[in-house]
Structure 1
Amino acid sequence: MITQDERLEGLKFNTSILEDRLGKLEYERDMARDQCYEREGLLELQTRSMKDNLIFGGLGETGLEENTELVVKDFIKSELDITKEIVFQVVHRLGKRADGKPRSIVAKFVNRKDRDRVLNAASTKLASKRQFSINEHFPPEINERRRVLYPVFKEAKRNNRQVRLKADKLFIDGQQYHPPPPQHHPDSNALLQEDPHQPQYPTLAPTRMRPDLRDQFRHTGVSG
């Protein structure tokens, strides 16, 4: 017959196992959260480094000896009606396109005001010239987030809401919009729900008690 002391010792043993498992899960959670913060920090640095850049699309290539900076300057004057002399830090073509169209051009402006003037002019001057495009430059991961947000942005604008898409953040009527979590992770670990805007994680598998301990302490109310 099992004594009360033996029951207590068994409960202590099982509790220590659960506490050890919980400690490991909390450690893994903290590591994942730190890695997320680190990745977001690197993305922010990348985004800042590209803040003076614009990507020009649809500008025809003129050959191996092409002066890419001159191509951009001529385009700005002829298509955007901006005659002010603009200075660039660097201008270059991106990699070859699979569709055979002209490679896009990345231009890094010396003056932020010049960059903004060109971007603002593009919204009106190129509205009827779909073969050309001028866009802000972002890391691929930020572009993917913007792709998800853009339909919401268009819908809000269609409904005459005040909208602003800044990098990977969408603001509607002054409030930041947060997209719903991915559908393939419908549940989240309760330990990670302190901040609803933290990344979502799959539900962790429940801890199972050893069969011998389950049989031994079934009448104590502990189950696995």
Structure 2
Amino acid sequence: MCIPSNSEIMKHLIKIESKLENIDIKLKTLDVLESKVDKFERDLKSLWLNVHDTKKETDDKLLKFDDRISHVEISNAEKLSKLESLEKENDQIKEDLSYLRSQSMRNNLIFGGISESLNEKATETENKLREHLVNKLGLAQDTVDALKIERAHRMGYQSTDPSKLINRKIVCKFAYFKDRETVRKQHFKLDGKQFFMHEQFPPEVVAKRKRLIPKLREARAKNHNAWISYDTLFIDGKPINLE
């Protein structure tokens, strides 16, 4: 066996030392990497905790927001319900008021086409109306004399210019409903052109009745028994809802 020389041993030791230094450098590098990994893990954990806290905070805010939205929706629904209820009550009040106004006009008839004098007085208007009932509606004089008329007056204002004078309609309020009916039932005696007569109703009821007239004529053209009572169309005895 050959014994190595001192120089060979030194060379070998130098190589070993060099390898050890390289290993030491690599170990230091690994330590740095390990430190960085640890820091990364800590940062990642911190970030995750922040994300978790932010998500929880966001979820809490969303829940509160949802609660507020639900509260607002419930509040709006309640307000809408109240508004609808108030609208229904308002419509009912309007209908009741219209009915009361109609009842106050129950004994009234409106006459058109009767001549008018300049500065005509109420007594003259009533006398002309009574003459009209005899001459145009064919009522007996004693029947007309017995009619109790509370008031007969022209509608609207009379022009002060004689050239613009028109025959304004007359509103007659009878003291008794039966007297009004005695007169009204003679409507067939009028031609509806120069002279006419009809019941008095509030404007809103008149508007409803006008909308019913085409259906009334259509029903009568088909030989149905049709008529309008107050603001309702009846065909063969049945009320017809046109809404």
Into which bin does the TM-score normalised by the smaller protein fall? 0.7 to 0.9
Q: Offset of 1:57 from its aligned partner?
A: 0.2
Please give the residue correspondences for 1:1-80 in structure 2 after superposition, counting only pairs within 5 Å.
2-3=55-56, 6=60, 8-66=63-121, 67-80=124-137
Q: Partner residue of 1:152?
A: 215
Q: Partner residue of 1:117?
A: 182
Q: In structure 1, the residue corresponding to 2:136 is in which secondary structure?
A: helix
The reply on whether 1:102 has 2:167 as its aligned counterpart is yes
The aligned length equals 178
Task: Measure the CA separation in 2 of the matches of 1:166 and 1:30.
Answer: 29
Q: Offset of 1:19 from its aligned partner?
A: 0.5
Q: Partner residue of 1:142?
A: 205
Task: Measure the CA separation in 1 of the matches of 2:241 and 2:216.
Answer: 12
Identify the range of structure 1 (45-54 vs 83-92) with the bigger mean alpha-carbon deviation. 83-92
TM-score scaled by structure 2? 0.67
Q: Which has the higher helix share?
A: 2
Q: Offset of 1:43 from its aligned partner?
A: 0.5
Task: Measure the CA separation in 2 of the matches of 1:97 and 1:36.
Answer: 36
Q: Partner residue of 1:162?
A: 225
- Give the share of equivalent positions with the same residue, in percent: 30
Identify the range of structure 1 (9-18 vs 88-97) with the bigger mean alpha-carbon deviation. 9-18
Q: In structure 2, the residue corresponding to 1:95 is in which secondary structure?
A: coil
Structure 2 unaligned blocks of 5 or more: 1-51
Q: Partner residue of 1:89?
A: 150
Task: Measure the CA separation in 1 of the matches of 2:240 and 2:167.
Answer: 35
Which is higher, the Rg of structure 1 or of structure 2? 2
Task: Measure the CA separation in 2 of the matches of 1:164 and 1:97.
Answer: 35
Whether contact under 8 Å (1:58, 1:101) holds in the other structure is no
CA, structure 1 residues 155+101, in 2 after alignment: closer, same or farther (shift >3 Å)? farther
Identify the range of structure 1 (77-86 vs 6-15) with the bigger mean alpha-carbon deviation. 6-15
Structure 1 unaligned blocks of 5 or more: 181-224
Whether contact under 8 Å (2:118, 2:165) holds in the other structure is no
Task: Measure the CA separation in 2 of the matches of 1:29 and 1:152.
Answer: 31
Q: Offset of 1:34 from its aligned partner?
A: 1.1
Q: In structure 2, the residue corresponding to 1:80 is in which secondary structure?
A: coil
